[in-house]
């Protein structure tokens, strides 16, 4: 009974359990980044509602439509409850984009308001110009950099446990230093890029929303266009940055060698001998 009690305290000591808690942050970071990239790229549930800005005709003579712009997609609602999305829209010609987003009649049967083909083309051209020239984001590179950082982190944790057991091995020390540097470089650069992306997106959203309501706004559809910022996209990016920063700062806790890892490598060395 005394042996089982001692074993229980040894296995579940704080240094062992707390070192694994920061790794849980990997899941929401990947999820938030994936949702930010997938915003307006498909009609899957919830995806069309994740956008950077939304364009709404500021006129009573046009149909009740809206175009939502993501980083890699554009969605359009025709006022009848139907939503269509086009992925990688920035590489699509305006005529093709209009045909894909508005394949049916541009007449709103509820209000009897119409949106002509030239107006739809002008609104789509504005959306493409915003997406290709202003709404650039390094999120795709952030995902790859984060994947590399997590891989190096796991290697770093493994090598540090081995280093704690074989501290006199020159090769082990060299490999330990290499994995440590790679981990910190990838995770810190990833956090910095996420901060830059979130700050740039927030500033752009607020600026476009302000300009659209300012006097002298260039008319696009009849009386102009109203630009609304995407709050969901903003929250996702800032939460991804916050969790990434916490994970990066918690690297010393994650790689702390526990008695289980040290014992495992000690057993491996004995078996190999």
Q: How far is CA 242 from the centre of its chain?
A: 12
Contact indicator for 106, 120 with CB cutoff of 8 Å? yes
**196: which 2 tokens?**
């830059």
Distances, alpha carbon 220 to alpha carbons 8, 99, 120, 122, 261, in Å: 69, 19, 10, 6, 64
Q: With contact defined as beta carbons under 8 Å apart, do 260 and 7 qualify?
A: no
Q: What would the pLDDT profile of 6-51 be if each residue is shown by its tens digit?
A: 544 444 444 555 667 778 899 999 999 999 998 888 888 888 889 9
Closest residue by Cα to residue 102 from 74, 131, 71: 74
Q: In sequence order, what E strands does 204-267 have? A: 225-229
Average pLDDT rounded to a whole number, residues 128-136: 82
Give the pLDDT confidence of 50-105 residue by residue, as tens digits. 999 988 876 655 556 788 888 888 888 876 667 888 887 666 777 777 777 776 54
- What confidence score (pLDDT) does residue 84 get? 83
From 14-23, 35-44, 134-143, 205-214, the region with the lowest mean pLDDT: 14-23
Report helix, strand or coil for 81: coil
């Amino acid at each position: 009974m005394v042996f089982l009690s001692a074993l229980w305290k040894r296995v579940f000591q704080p240094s062992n359990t707390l070192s694994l808690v920061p790794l849980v942050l990997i899941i929401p970071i990947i999820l938030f980044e994936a949702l930010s990239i997938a915003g307006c790229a498909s009609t899957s549930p919830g995806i069309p509602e994740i956008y950077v800005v939304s364009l709404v005709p500021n006129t009573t003579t046009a149909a009740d439509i809206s175009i939502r712009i993501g980083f890699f997609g554009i969605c359009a609602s025709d006022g009848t409850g139907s939503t269509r999305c086009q992925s990688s829209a920035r590489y699509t010609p305006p005529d093709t984009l209009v045909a894909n987003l508005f394949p049916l009649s541009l007449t709103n049967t509820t209000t009897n308001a119409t949106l002509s083909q030239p107006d739809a083309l002008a609104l789509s051209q504005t959306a493409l110009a915003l997406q290709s020239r202003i709404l650039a984001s390094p999120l795709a590179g952030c995902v790859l950099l984060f994947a590399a950082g997590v891989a190096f982190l796991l290697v770093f944790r493994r090598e540090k446990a081995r280093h704690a057991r074989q501290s006199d091995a020159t090769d082990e020390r060299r490999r330990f230093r290499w994995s440590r540097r790679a981990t910190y470089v990838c995770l810190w650069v990833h956090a910095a890029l996420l901060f830059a992306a979130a700050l740039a997106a927030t500033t752009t959203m607020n600026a476009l929303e302000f300009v659209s309501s300012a006097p002298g706004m260039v008319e696009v559809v009849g009386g102009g266009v109203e630009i609304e910022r995407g709050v969901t996209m903003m929250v996702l990016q800032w939460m991804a940055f916050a969790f990434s920063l916490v994970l990066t700062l918690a690297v010393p806790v994650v790689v702390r060698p526990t008695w289980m890892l040290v014992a495992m490598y000690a057993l491996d060395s004995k078996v190999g001998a």
